[in-house]
Chain A
Amino acid sequence: MSAAAEETKAEAGAPLLQADGVSIQFGGLKALTDFNLSVRQGDLQGLIGPNGAGKSTAFNVLTGVYQPTQGEVRVGGQRVNGWLPHQINHLGLARTFQNIRLFRALTALDNVKVACRAQGALHPEGVGLGAKMKGAFINYRDWWRALLLTPRFQQEERELTQQAEHLLEVMGLSHRRDEEARNLPYGEQRRLEIARALGTQPKVLLLDEPAAGMNTREKADLMVLIRKLRDDFKLGVLVIEHDMKLVMGICECITVLDHGETIARGAPAQVRSDRKVIEAYLGDSYLESHGGAA
């Protein structure tokens, strides 16, 4: 079933994010076993599973927070095993966090500006010595520009502000521009996190439970928003979500994890009727009350 799903995606271009047989082990605990995934531009995939299934672990492996014990992760075709999270981010992979991790004392605008700035010419691609030297040079030149307040620096700063303001507008946060992130209401903090992630100009966006703690209306809005972002920013999106309705509503392909293993993958309808998924995710009682899967 996964093969079929992957075939239909084959014409959408090379995968931007790919996990090949990724396993991760903490001591004796296998948090993730033989995890495969490929996200292309325009994809909107879901990653679901009961608590402790390894969803967030999968995110952490993909973004470089954890190193895979086995297998490899590729971002934009580049093998990134052993890379640091910020280096992986520069390849075009951005994420949000399950428990919001904004820069709380910074204003909404500055939150986005941090992400915008960390990108672009500042960090030439690659991890070789040449790229490192070049990066160091650019960085020091940049520090001097900031310290001397050169016209070039002032220009860059204005552009950054515009860029960040645009992202705030897209996420409907313009009215919060100068407010500290910690003073924003919960739903807006979630959206600010997405705005910040977009500031890094990602090709793939990983959303870790973006709808957690939102009410039904906010969730509906969020679904529309995620779709819109995917189209406007030409992203591939991978969503971790507990809310079945949200996942089933917007995702075209869903991967189901349980105890670190991939137990199903496919279109929402397909996954919904998968016996193993119902058993693991929805529980035995569901099977009983609904008379088993179709």
Chain B
Amino acid sequence: METPAIPAPEARSAVPASLRGLLPVLLALPVLALFQGLMSDAPFASYLLSVVGVNIILAVSLNIVNGMTGQFSIGHAGFMAVGAYISGVLSLNFKDVALSFLPVAVSDQVFFVVSLLVGGLAAALCGFLVGLPSLRLRGDYLAIVTLGFGEIIRVVVQNTDAFGRALGLSGIPQTSSPAMVYFFVFLTVLVARRITGSSHGRSLWAIREDEVAAEAMGVDTTGYKVRAFVISSFFAGIAGALFAHFVPIINPGSFTFVKSMEIVVMVVLGGLGSTTGAIVAATFLTLLPEGMRSLFTLLGAEGSLAQKVDQIRMPVYGLLLVALMLARPQGLFGTKEIWDVLPRWIPRKRRGLA
């Protein structure tokens, strides 16, 4: 990934305390600028990398709820849809408006970022409304409610003229760029890592491990679950909004239950609770169909199989998941991060948290 190393929460370093908060962002910006420069002549690579980035955001944010907090949400595509449609409609309506004191390109980017944030906040609000009643309860209620929510959003979109009904929304300005996508990937990962390293993260882990004990030790379990869920929804909304600004058309078909399950598979494959696991799994699963397509073409299956890759994708996911559950039930990295499972000869950080 383009993201620079994220400082371990308790690492003693030469960096002054006041700078440590901002330093990763400062380091990331030039890297992203360089990245953008490299990508400008490769539209297909840009598109593919953007999709990978969006999926990473989705997987990492879902991991905050499903992995760290141990709640089971299966409607992440619903929050993505909220972000995509809200920001899409916003961008469509402000398409021809520009800030006069700025160059057009910059003005476009400003509008883009604003609509991204609005999309994210709308999704976060939905997350709050969905989470508040269902997270008071323990167990599978969240799964049922989020499943319902995802479907409701899809049906609402399908029947609302403003959202283009089943035809979808087209003509959204394509203001997104790989650099922008990866800036938000970076931000999501940074937030996830910082939550893990803070007392909030520890409380979430405590809830995952034993909700009754966490409550008895003074952890406001409902509050923490809702906050984790809201943060997770926010980034799902951002992912959706980014998505809406680099694909030619968004329609309800992009945000079905299948999409939700795809994200869940990514999180489970990477290991519930592992941020780096989610990144690796999201990258792998997104590139897998492309890889299969090239493979089939190479094997000379003359397009027949290669064209059906998108249809055989889901069975492949299923098989992969079954194989994984048999071989490594805890996922690729379990609850650990990639540097905890790397070979011994690579210097590793001292583990603060499981």
> B215: CB under 8 A from chain A?
yes
**Interface pick from B148-156, B220-228, B256-264, B338-346:** B220-228
> A196: CB under 8 A from chain B?
yes
Query: Within residues 216 to 261 of chain A, which ones have a CB less than 8 A from any CB in chain B?
Result: none
Neighbour of A97 across the interface among B199, B213, B227, CB < 8 A: B213
Chain A residues, CB < 8 A from B223: 139
Query: In the complex, A79→B69 CA distance in Å?
Result: 31
Query: Within residues 193 to 214 of chain B, which ones have a CB less than 8 A from any CB in chain A?
Result: 194-195, 197-200, 202-203, 205-206, 208-210, 212-214
Neighbour of A142 across the interface among B200, B202, B216, B221, CB < 8 A: B200
| Majority secondary structure, A binding face | helix
Chain B residues, CB < 8 A from A199: 217
> A286: CB under 8 A from chain B?
no
Query: In the complex, A199→B217 CA distance in Å?
Result: 8
CB distance B209 to A104 under 8 Å? yes
Chain B residues, CB < 8 A from A105: 205, 208-209, 335, 354
Neighbour of A110 across the interface among B200, B202, B210, B214, CB < 8 A: B202
Which of A105, A142, A149, A156 gathers the greatest number of chain B CB atoms within 10 Å? Answer: A149
Q: Which range holds the interface residue count of chain A?
A: 35 or more
> A153: CB under 8 A from chain B?
yes
> A175: CB under 8 A from chain B?
no
Neighbour of A114 across the interface among B197, B219, B335, CB < 8 A: B219
CB distance B10 to A157 under 8 Å? yes
Closest chain A residue, CB of each to CB of B202: A114
Neighbour of A146 across the interface among B194, B205, B208, B220, CB < 8 A: B194
The total number of A-B Cβ pairs within 8 Å is 123
> B18: CB under 8 A from chain A?
yes
> A101: CB under 8 A from chain B?
yes
A87-98 to B contact mask, C-beta < 8 Å, 1/0: 001100011010
> A147: CB under 8 A from chain B?
yes
Query: In the complex, A142→B194 CA distance in Å?
Result: 12
Query: In the complex, A86→B214 CA distance in Å?
Result: 8
Q: Which residues of B contact A (CB under 8 A)?
A: 7, 9-10, 17-18, 20-22, 191, 194-195, 197-200, 202-203, 205-206, 208-210, 212-221, 223, 227, 335, 350-354
| 20 contacts across the A-B interface (CB closer than 8 A) | A84-B215, A85-B215, A85-B216, A86-B215, A86-B218, A94-B217, A97-B216, A103-B206, A106-B205, A114-B199, A114-B202, A114-B214, A119-B218, A139-B227, A143-B200, A147-B194, A148-B22, A150-B18, A154-B17, A157-B10
